[in-house]
Amino acid sequence: MTRLSVVLVPVSALLAAQALLSMASVTLPVLAPEVAADIGAPVAWVGLFVALVYGASMTCGLASGALVRRWGALRLSQLCLLSAAVGVSCIVTGHLAGLMIGALVLGMGYGPLNPASSHLLTRISPPQHLSKIFSLKQTGVPLGAVLAGALLPTLVLWGGWRLAALCVAAACTLLAILLQPLRTPLDSDRMPAAPVSLDSFAEPARIAMADRSGRTLAASTFFYAGLQLCLGTYLVAYLTSELGYGLVQAGMTLAVTQGAGIAGRLLSGVVADRSGQPRRVMGAMGCVMGACAVATAFAGEWPTVLLLTVYAAFGASAIGWNGVYLAEVARRAPPGGVSTATAAALFVTFSGVLAGPPIFSLMLQSGMRYSTAFITIAAPALLFGLLLLRVPQPPAD
């Protein structure tokens, strides 16, 4: 490989894997109306599917460090893609039991991908460009969601929802096969005799407890992730039911937030690398997302341009922080412990993913307005943003 391809090829491969894993994770939510009508189940159970995906992701991700050491980061990424393919294929059964099993298997693949990617990217990336490269790879998450929303409905019209799901499974399988030529050069650091045991699941906790200065940053992502999921889950309902916007305008606003999220991930990585202050970049993004949540409570009479501008800032901040965070976790990880430290960090982040939407739903069911619920769920993110802005960048341990 040339010097450029040493970085470009693996980053492109991991970006593609991230996009397909993301696409697989939202396949059922996108197809939910068609699947529900076919199998005679309420659309509401899709929330249980998503919870099972992230629950399995959190649990299986904890063993990522041991699996990376034994199999290599590239091999583990391939297995993540194959696990996603099997999980999505289970949806095709059309039975609730098959769907729930599919959620668990899909989550088993989704959880270890980021720790494996972090291990590999840290090895090949110039330190001064780490945030940019991590942020570029993380654009695969919103990109996968955009692809699912754009392609799956068309596939449903062409051949039904089962064909759409099988196409996603086939794409994951094909990419896993295409990655095979990269296995030898990229997994040269693997240790085939490295142990994998129940103790592997406790290893991330030990690393997390040792990094005291990283706890505030990890805690912030709990609230950032919760707000991010609430924004994507409830934005259309908020705009249509409470602010009186049409469905087309609400859908366009959601698309703007996702597109801005991709731009936010790229821009935040550049700023973090150039400033050398990734924590303060994270803090600034927490302040912006909190301020936007407050501002949108008064958006009832706003013109479309102003509405889209505010939601673009909301999406760029609430969706755009992930790459900077993962790069900072990698910088602070002990030697050889990047994947394990990432697993520990994402356990906290995924906990926010699981907690945010249900808490938001409970607030709505208690009679709270959408606008008030958004402000309430955003308040901790704003507070942690202010805290991260005040605390100077600590040196790596």
Chain-centroid distance, C-alpha 272 = 19
Query: Residue 136 — φ and ψ, nearest 5°?
Result: -60, -45
Residues 282-335 have pLDDT tens digits of 999 999 999 999 998 887 778 888 889 999 999 999 999 999 999 999 988 888
Spatial neighbors of 360 by CB under 8 A, at least 6 apart, are: 230, 233, 234, 373, 377
The answer to whether the CB of 115 falls within 8 A of the CB of 340 is: yes
pLDDT band at 392; cut points 50, 70, 90: low
Lowest average pLDDT, out of 133-137, 196-200, 212-216, goes to 196-200
3-state helix, strand, coil in the chain (%, to 5): 85, 0, 15
The residue that leads in pLDDT, 203 or 363, is 363
If 0-12 CB within 10 Å is exposed, 13-18 middle and 19+ buried, where does residue 212 land? exposed
Rg (CA), the chain: 20
Report pTM.
0.87
**Mean pLDDT along residues 227-250:** 83
CA distance 361 to 373: 9
Neighbours of 333 (CB within 10 A): 25
Q: Residue 307's closest CA among 243, 357, 368?
A: 243
What does the pLDDT read at residue 237?
Answer: 81
308 C-beta neighbours (distance < 10 Å), count: 18
At 123-141, the pLDDT tens digits run 988 888 899 999 999 999 9
Domains of the chain: 1-180 (1.20.1250.20), 211-391 (1.20.1250.20)
pLDDT at residue 395 above 60?
Answer: no
- The confidence score (pLDDT) of residue 393 equals 62
Average pLDDT for 154-165: 91
**Residues of the chain above pLDDT 70, percent:** 92
**What is the CB neighbour count within 10 angstroms for residue 389?**
16
Q: pLDDT category, 38, cuts 50, 70, 90? A: confident
**Mean pLDDT value across the chain:** 88
